[in-house]
Structure 1
Amino acid sequence: MEEHSYSEFPGFSRRRRCCGKGVQLVLVGLATILLWAGLLTLLLFWRWDTVQNLKQLEVTAARNGMEGPRHIFSPATPVSRVAKDLERHNGDQMAQKAQAAQVSQNMEEIQAEQKRMKAQDSELSWSLDGLRSDLSNLKSLSLNERHTALHSLERLQEEVMKLWIELHRSNGSLCNTCPEKWVNFQRKCYYFGEGSKKWIQARFACDKLQGRLVSIHSQEEQDFLARHANRKGTWIGLRDLDREGEFIWMDQGPLNYSNWRPGEPNNGGQGEDCVMMQGSGEWNDAFCGSRLDGWVCDQLATC
């Protein structure tokens, strides 16, 4: 019914919508006016408050000027409190600076002490190195003197043994007694060792057998050894380990006989300071670290 009645008056519905829009615009305008009024009121209030504060500051400043400087530092005024705070702050800063200066001085003293201790440590280290060097020199000197004394003792014992053998031979004794597995030739006993060894290992093996690597002093002795020695190579007791080119026998005897292979000794390769006897019987200087299957020991025969 209502929809039908309104539809009969279209003009009336259009006028109603237009009136609604007009009311909305009026309300918006009133709200804007009220907003601006509020802002203006706030601005006026802020200006009035600022003016009052300025007047109060002028009155306070005038009163302070009349009362003199003592009133500035009065606890009742904000200025005096700020001044006291500043004074206290300055005092704290001065105390901190003094403390920092003391810490810096302490650090400098510690650094100076560290430098002194380093210098002392360096001096002690230098002294210790000197003592170690002196001790090493003394040990070397002692070892060299001991080796020299041992060699001299061995030479003396050997000379005494030779004299003793000669004495017995002159009395008709037969001096050709050798340990088991040793072979007698003239006045000496020989042991023909077998097994892969370096020169120094062969030397120690002879020492354990109460002998030493063989020393050769005649063609007859050389021929005898060549007949019995290992055909793959044999170590003998000749070497120039102490001074290059100065060959020495293990019995400290002179090099009064030699049977070098042509072109030897040549100290070739990585250094050849030990002497071997080849299968042909000729001598060749060789690297002491090489391994040979044969080595010969000798000792004096007993009567």
Structure 2
Amino acid sequence: MEESSYSDVLQLRRGRRPCCRRGTQVVLLGLVTATLWAGLLTLLLLWHRDTVQGLRQLEDIAARNVSRVSKDVERHKGDQMAQQSQVAQALQSMEEIQAEQKRMEIQDSELSRNLDGLLEDLSNFKSQGLNERRTALDSLERLQEEVAKLWIELRVSNGSVCNTCPEQWVSFQRKCYYFGEGAKRWFQARQACRRLRGRLVSIHSQEEQDFLAKHSNKKGSWIGLRDLDREGEFVWMDQSPLDYSNWRPGEPNNGAQGEDCVMLLGSGQWNDAFCGSYLDGWVCDQLATC
């Protein structure tokens, strides 16, 4: 009886042991699973926290950047407005300068017109004064020459010989003649005679003409006849009338509308020529002394 009871107990223990092992395994699997889920949840929570912190930091950085950019934009707007204001002021100053420049140009134009008028008046006054002075000097020279001629006539009537000439001058009929050489224009020849205290020769007779033709330069010489003041109205340097002439046939012809000075040709005849031409000869005269 006791043996049967003991065997029953052993059989009962053997039947229960596999069932307890499976339960334990299930519990352990549940614990491991729970632990894994807890760890995973912890990791998720940590990742979420870090993510939230990172987002907050990014938000702070973005906010600071936005604030900085906003300040830069505001400063840029302020600078732009200041530049626009400076540009407006510069444009206004430019307009004022242009207006002032136009006003000065108008004043300059008026001053130029006034100055031109004054210069023209001065030129006219100077020209008038020069003409009057030249007329007065010519009158004085004619008067002095007439007095000198009268004095010579008086000395000759008293028996004096009046044929004294400076060195290198040639005497003929109470006058002295200088036969200059060297290329000169008519005005240069006139000045050369004045420096020698004479003037370009005046011819009043055939005898004087023959004398000059004999001694003058065969290439042509300037003489003191010209029509510079009025075309066709020839006047001698001594202001005496044209009482004798020896024109070459067809002369004077005022060729090329500019021949206002007279030259003595090698043949002895006269020809009107351009005053700016160069001639190799020029003849001066002055009264001889007693």
* TM class, shorter-length: 0.5 to 0.7
Q: In the alignment, which residue of structure 2 is the partner of 1:260?
A: 247
Q: Cα offset for 1:100?
A: 7.6
Amino acid at match of 2:220: G
| Alignment partners' CA distance in 2, 1:225 and 1:106 | 79
- Which residue of 1 is the match for residue 286 of structure 2? 299
RMSD: 3.5
Q: Which residue identity does 2:195 align to in structure 1?
A: K
State the partner residue of 2:181: 194
1:61 paired residue number: none
Q: Aligned runs of 1:24-63 on 2, under 5 Å?
A: none
Q: 1:104 to 1:237 in 2, by over 3 A?
A: closer
**Counterpart residue identity of residue 265, structure 1:** P
Structure 1 portions without partners, runs of 5+: 1-84
Cα pair distance change 1:134/1:179, threshold 3 Å: same
Q: Per-residue displacement from partner, 1:228-275 (whole Å, max 9, x unpaired)?
A: 222222221111122221111111110011011111111124622211
d(CA) in 2 for partners of 1:174, 1:231: 32
Show the counterpart of 2:193: 206
Contact 1:183 1:189 in 2 (8 A): yes
1:283 aligns with 2:270: yes
SS of residue in 2 equivalent to 1:215: coil
* Counterpart position of 1:78: none
SS across alignment from 2:262: strand
Tell me which amino acid in the other structure corresponds to 1:197.
K
Larger radius of gyration: 2
Match in the other structure for 2:25? none
1:220 aligns with 2:220: no
Deviations 1:21-68 (A, max 9, x none): xxxxxxxxxxxxxxxxxxxxxxxxxxxxxxxxxxxxxxxxxxxxxxxx
TM-score by length of 2: 0.66
Report matched runs for 1:92-171 at 5 Å: 108-171=95-158
Provide the secondary structure at the position in 2 that maps to 1:235.
Answer: strand
Structure 2, unaligned stretches of length 5 or more?
1-70
Equivalent residues in 2 for 1:18-29, closer than 5 Å: none
- Give the structure, 1 or 2, with the largest relative contact order (CA under 8 Å, sep 6 or more): 2
How many Å separate the matches in 2 of 1:109 and 1:197?
60
Partner Cα separation in structure 1 for residue 86 and residue 258 of structure 2: 73
**Using a 3 Å threshold, how does the CA distance of structure 1 residues 103 and 277 change in structure 2: closer, same or farther?**
closer
Identity percentage over the alignment? 78
Does the 8 Å contact 1:187/1:301 carry over to 2? yes
* C-alpha deviation, 1:211, in angstroms: 0.9
Determine the structure 2 residue equivalent to 1:181.
168
How far apart, CA to CA, are the structure 2 residues paired with 1:235 and 1:171?
Answer: 36
Do the aligned partners of 1:191 and 1:298 also contact (CA within 8 Å) in 2? yes
The residue number in structure 2 matching 1:247 is 234
* Alignment partners' CA distance in 1, 2:104 and 2:83: 31
Greater shift in the superposed pair: 272-281 or 255-264: 272-281
Cα distance between partner residues in 2 of 1:193 and 1:99: 79
Other-structure match for 1:69: none
Alpha-carbon distance in structure 2 between the residues aligned to 1:293 and 1:121: 51
What displacement does 1:128 show? 2.2
Give the match for residue 9 of structure 2: none
For the residue of structure 2 that corresponds to 1:230, the secondary structure is: coil
How far 1:103 moved relative to its partner? 6.6
TM-score by length of 1: 0.63
SS of the residue 1:298 aligns to = strand
Aligned residues: 230
Choose 286-295 or 213-222, whichever is displaced more: 286-295
Q: Sort the Cα spacing of 1:106 and 1:158 in 2 relative to 1 into closer, same or farther, 3 A.
A: same
